[in-house]
Amino acid sequence: MTKMLASVNSLAEAQLILNSTADIIDLKQPKQGALGALSINDVRQIVSQVNNKKPVSATIGDLPMQADLVFNAVLAMSKTGVDFIKIGLFPGGDWQGTLSKLAALSQQGNRLIAVLFADQTPDFQTIELFKKNGFSGVMLDTMKKSSGSLPQLMPYNRLAEFVKKVKQAGMLSGLAGSLKAEDIPKLLQLNADYLGFRGALCEEHNRTAALNKESINKVLTYF
C-alpha cells in the first residue's frame, strides 16, 4: 500500500504532521533548493521530539557529486538519528566514485535513498548501481520546481517503469515533485511505496510557505 511522505522545515511543522495520519516526516528546507537541508542541530532536535512515533527522513542539500563532500554530509546527518537520508543525484560530477564511497555508510546500517530528477532525463539503468552500493530506496523528484509537476514532466508509463525497476531491485520506491491532490488517484495505481508532498500541503500551494492544516487534510483523504 502506498504511504504518504510530508516534507517539513521546522519543529512546529513536524509536530503538525506528527499529529496527522501522514506516514513519514521528511526534513528539508525548500528555500535552499530542490533538496535543501535543515541544519544538523535542527534535525537532531526534531528527531528527538518525534521520538520514534513516525519514521523521519532528511535531505543533505543540493550538493555536487563530489565523493568526499557528499560522504561527509551523509555521515554528519547519520549521527542525528534519522531513519532515512535522501541524496540528490545531481547532473555532472563523479557519480560512481560518490556512490562507491557511500557504500561504506550503507554497510553500517544507514538507510540511504537516492533521488533522481525527472526533468534531467534520468537513466533508470542507474537503479542497479544504487542497489549494488547498498541503497535502501530510490525516489523520483523534480529539480526545477518551475518546470512543472512530476506527471507533467514524465508520462505515466515511464513512472510505472521506474517503480517496477526499483521494486524488482528490492528497494523502496518513491514519487514526488510538485504533486497535487488531483494527481493522487492515478499515481496510487502505480503502487509506489511513497508519494511525497510539500507544495500541496502549504498555503496557496507555495512550497516555501507554511504548512496548512486544511491542505494537509485534503491530501490525506486519499490515503
Q: Is the pLDDT of residue 70 over 90?
A: yes
Which SS3 state, helix, strand or coil, does residue 167 take? Answer: helix
Q: How confident is the model at residue 24 (pLDDT cuts 50, 70, 90)?
A: very high
**Cα-Cα end-to-end distance for the chain:** 9
Please list, in sequence order, all residues whose beta carbon lies within 8 angstroms of the beta carbon of residue 187, skipping any fewer than 6 positions away: 2, 151, 159, 175, 179, 195
Q: Which domains does the chain have, with CATH numbers?
A: 3-220 (3.20.20.70)
Output the DSSP codes for 130-180: HHHTT--EEEEE-S-GGG--HHHHS-HHHHHHHHHHHHHTT-EEEE-SS--
Span 213-220, mean pLDDT? Answer: 96
Q: Is the pLDDT of residue 5 over 90?
A: yes
Q: Is the pLDDT of residue 171 over 90?
A: yes
Q: How confident is the model at residue 145 (pLDDT cuts 50, 70, 90)?
A: confident
pLDDT at position 208 = 86
Instruction: Among 83-87, 101-105, 145-149, name the one with the lowest average pLDDT.
Output: 145-149
pLDDT at position 203 = 87
Span 9-37, mean pLDDT? Answer: 96
pLDDT at position 146 = 79
28, 101, 145, 165: the catalytic one is 28
86, 101, 131, 145: the catalytic one is 86
Rounded CA-CA distance 95/86 in Å is 15
Span 194-213, mean pLDDT? Answer: 93
**37 contacts 3 by C-beta, under 8 angstroms:** no
Span 146-175, mean pLDDT? Answer: 96
Task: Compute φ and ψ for 77, nearest 5 degrees.
Answer: -65, -30
Q: Name residue, grid cell 543533505.
A: 60
**Mean of all residue pLDDT scores within the chain:** 96
| Annotated catalytic residue 165 | no
Q: Is the pLDDT of residue 147 over 90?
A: no
